[in-house]
Structures are given as structure tokens and as C-alpha cells.
Amino acid sequence: MKKIKPILRGEHYYIRRRVPRRYQHVDTRGYIQICLFTDSLKLAEDKAQTIWREMIEAWESKLEGRHDDAEARMAAAHNLAQRRGYAWSPSIASLPYSYRSC
């Protein structure tokens, strides 16, 4: 997997990635943006890799028709995000880009 480069925006790092073409029919958001709630580049890189890996696994489950498994993986990614102190909001994808922030 290609290394994810977090983006510093204000005081926090974010990941912003396009939903891969392979998964666009199971996740209609164009882009994923997640605040990592850290100002440490090293910590942001670690968090970004973990969250992105969980999202890929969830999309793969949806592609294979295992929606229950996919939902469980998304829930696991959500719980991981909360435990590590960063925001997770599925509804944020529907907001205009200018309103998305920590």
C-alpha cells in the first residue's frame, strides 16, 4: 500500500484521499477526509495508515457481498478512531468542503 502523507491544516493533521475507483460503487463519497487530531507528523502517519487499512478491509467486505462483515469492520474503524481520539462522522461527506474541519 502506498504511504499516506497527512496534510497539516491549521494545528491538526488530516488525511484526505479519493475513494479508490474499485470501491466507488460501494461508497459513493468522492473523497474521504478525516482529522487525526494531532500536530505530530510521526503520530499522524501511524494513525493514517491504520485507519486507511481498516477502510480498505471494509470496502473489500462490501465488494464480496458480506455487508454484515463490512458493517462490523466500519464499526471497528469507528471505535478505533474514537479510542485514539480523532473524529469520525459518516455524515461529514455530505457537507460542502468548506464546512469540514476539526
Read off the pLDDT of residues 64-96 as tens digits, 9 standing for 90 and up: 877 666 677 677 777 777 777 766 665 554 555
What mean pLDDT is reported for the chain? 80
| Neighbouring C-alpha atoms within 13 Å toward the C-beta of 60 | 7
Domains: count for the chain: 1
**Domain assignment of residue 47, yes or no:** yes
Predicted confidence band at 15 (pLDDT cuts at 50, 70, 90)? very high
Domain extent at residue 15: 7-99
Question: How is residue 19 written as a grid cell?
Answer: 475513494
What is the strand order of the sheet 12-18 is part of?
A: 7-9, 12-18, 31-35
pLDDT of 99: 46
Q: How far apart are CA 14 and CA 62, in angstroms?
A: 25
Question: How is residue 42 written as a grid cell?
Answer: 510521526
The DSSP symbol for 22 reads G
**Domain assignment of residue 2, yes or no:** no
User: Does residue 84 contact residue 45 with C-beta atoms inside 8 Å?
Assistant: no
Nearest residue to 47 (alpha-carbon basis) of 97, 83, 101: 83
